[in-house]
Each structure stands twice: as structure tokens, then as C-alpha cells.
Amino acid sequence: MTRSSTLKFAAGALLLLVFLFSFGLRLWWMRSAPSMPELLLGLGDSQAQGAQEAFQARLRERFPPGSPETAMVRALQEQGFRIDLRRKEAGFDRAADLEDHCRRGGAARWSADAEGRIAEISGGYYIHCP
């Protein structure tokens, strides 16, 4: 083998290794998507008639007015929601993965009284499939 063909072979092998590493990294990233929160499981098309209302009813059933805000925050965190206590908001976003090609997410907003009890809770969710 000449020196130039050896360099071409080495460059090709390096490109192949970079491609395989990138592909493997992408597969690993997609497989490590967080599990869906209980609150978002089984929800259909987010654009369907009544879908958002059904999600809001689910929120109010799980966290009824008068229940402790701290318990709600803890439950949402355990399900993978990111909490912003200052704004009284929680959000969840999951990218598509190998089993589910849709991006999914949800949000909740609430108010609490002076005793730390939920006064009102609302929210919404989305499903975006390519």
C-alpha cells in the first residue's frame, strides 16, 4: 500500500467510527427518554374536542381544591415535572423516542391560599407526531 492509500483508509475508518459513535449516541439518547407521568398516560389527540378539558378534570380530580400545595408539588416532581414555585407552574416535556415517535408534554398552573392549600388548578397538554 502506498502512503496516500493508507491515509485514505485511515480517514475512511475514522469517519466510519465517528458515524457509528454518533449513531450509538443518538440511540442511547432516544432510549433514555423519561417515562410518561401518570397524569399524561392514555391521553389522546390534544387537538380533539374536549381533550384539554379532560386533562384539566384529571388535574382537579388528582389535586382537588383544598388539598395541600406541598403534596401536589411533591407528586408532580415524582412524576418528572419541573416545578417553578415562584410562578406556581409545573411542566413536563418528553422528546420522541424509539417506542413513541411523538413528542409529548404537559403543564399545570395553580394558585394557593395563605394556608398553602390549592385554590385553583388548570393546565394543558400536547402531543406532536411527525
Q: Could you count the other beta carbons within 10 Å of the beta carbon of residue 65? A: 14
What tens digit of pLDDT does each residue of 11-33 get?
676 676 666 666 655 555 555 55
pTM attached to this predicted model = 0.71
Give yes or no for a contact between 106 and 94, defined as CB atoms under 8 angstroms apart.
no
pLDDT for the residue numbered 84 = 98
Give yes or no for a contact between 80 and 35, defined as CB atoms under 8 angstroms apart.
yes
Give yes or no for a contact between 92 and 40, defined as CB atoms under 8 angstroms apart.
yes
pLDDT for the residue numbered 24 = 59
